[in-house]
Structure 1
Amino acid sequence: MTIASEAMPLSEQMRARAATVRRFALTDAVFRAVTRGAAILVLLILGGVGISLVVGAWPALSAFGGSFLVTQSWNPVTEKFGALAPIYGTIVTAAIAILIAVPIGIGIAVFLSELCPRPLRRPIGIAVELLAGIPSIIYGIWGLFVFAPFLQTTVQPFVINLFHGVPGLSSLFAGPPYGIGLFTSALILAIMVLPFITSITKDVFDTVPAVLKESAYGIGCTTWEVTRRVVIPYTRVGIMGGVMLGLGRALGETMAVTFVIGNAHRISASLFAPGTTISATIANEFTEADGELYTSSLVALGLILFVITFIILAIARYMLARIEKRAGA
Structure 2
Amino acid sequence: MATPLRTKEGGPAMRRPAFRRSRGEGPFRFATTGAGVVVLAIMAAIAVFLIVKAIPALQANTSSFLAEKIWTPNATEPKFGIAALAFGTVISSLLALIMALPVAIGVALFISHYAPRRLAGALGYVIDLLAAVPSVVYGLWGVIFLIPFVQGPYTFLNDYFGWIPLFAGDAVYGKSIMTGSIVLAIMILPIIAAISREVFLQAPRALEEASLALGATRWEMIRMSVLPFGRPGVISAAMLGLGRAMGETIAVALIFPATFDITFKVLSNNGNSIAANIANGFGEATPIGQGALIASGLVLFVITLVVNTAARLIIARRKEYSRAAA
TM superposition score category, shorter chain reference: 0.7 to 0.9
Q: What pairs up with 1:43-58 in 2 under 5 angstroms?
A: 43-58=40-55
Q: 1:66 to 1:30 in 2, by over 3 A?
A: farther
Contact 2:192–2:241, Cα closer than 8 Å, also in 1: yes
The 1-side partners of 2:147 and 2:255 are apart by 7
Contact 1:261–1:276, Cα closer than 8 Å, also in 2: yes
How many percent of aligned residue pairs carry the same amino acid?
37
Q: What pairs up with 1:67-146 in 2 under 5 angstroms?
A: 67-75=64-72, 76-77=74-75, 78-146=77-145
- Tell me the amino acid that sits aligned with residue 37 of structure 1: G
CA shift, 1:326, in A, is 6.6
User: In structure 2, which of residues 274, 279, 284 is the aligned counterpart of residue 278 of structure 1?
Assistant: 274
List per-residue Cα deviations over 1:241-268 (Å, max 9, x = no partner): 1111111101100011111111112223
The 2-side partners of 1:134 and 1:224 are apart by 33
Query: After the TM superposition, which of the residue ranges 142-151 and 62-71 deviates more from structure 2?
Result: 62-71
CA shift, 1:213, in A, is 0.9
CA shift, 1:327, in A, is 7.2
The 1-side partners of 2:85 and 2:56 are apart by 19
Which residue does 1:218 correspond to in 2? 213
Contact 1:137–1:256, Cα closer than 8 Å, also in 2: yes
The 2-side partners of 1:197 and 1:244 are apart by 9
The 1-side partners of 2:215 and 2:40 are apart by 51
SS at match of 1:67: coil
Unaligned ranges ≥5, structure 2: 1-19
* Structural RMSD (CA): 2.0
TM-score (norm 2): 0.87
The 1-side partners of 2:99 and 2:59 are apart by 39
Aligned residues: 301
The 2-side partners of 1:156 and 1:138 are apart by 23
Unaligned ranges ≥5, structure 1: 1-20
Contact 2:166–2:267, Cα closer than 8 Å, also in 1: no
User: In structure 1, which of residues 34, 39, 63 is the aligned counterpart of residue 31 of structure 2?
Assistant: 34
User: Could you say which structure has the greater relative contact order, defined with CA pairs below 8 angstroms and 6 or more residues apart?
Assistant: 1
CA shift, 1:269, in A, is 3.1
The 1-side partners of 2:168 and 2:110 are apart by 32
Moved over 6 A (4+): none
Q: What pairs up with 1:274-313 in 2 under 5 angstroms?
A: 274-290=270-286, 292-313=287-308
TM-score (norm 1): 0.86
Report the structure, 1 or 2, having the larger helix content.
Answer: 1
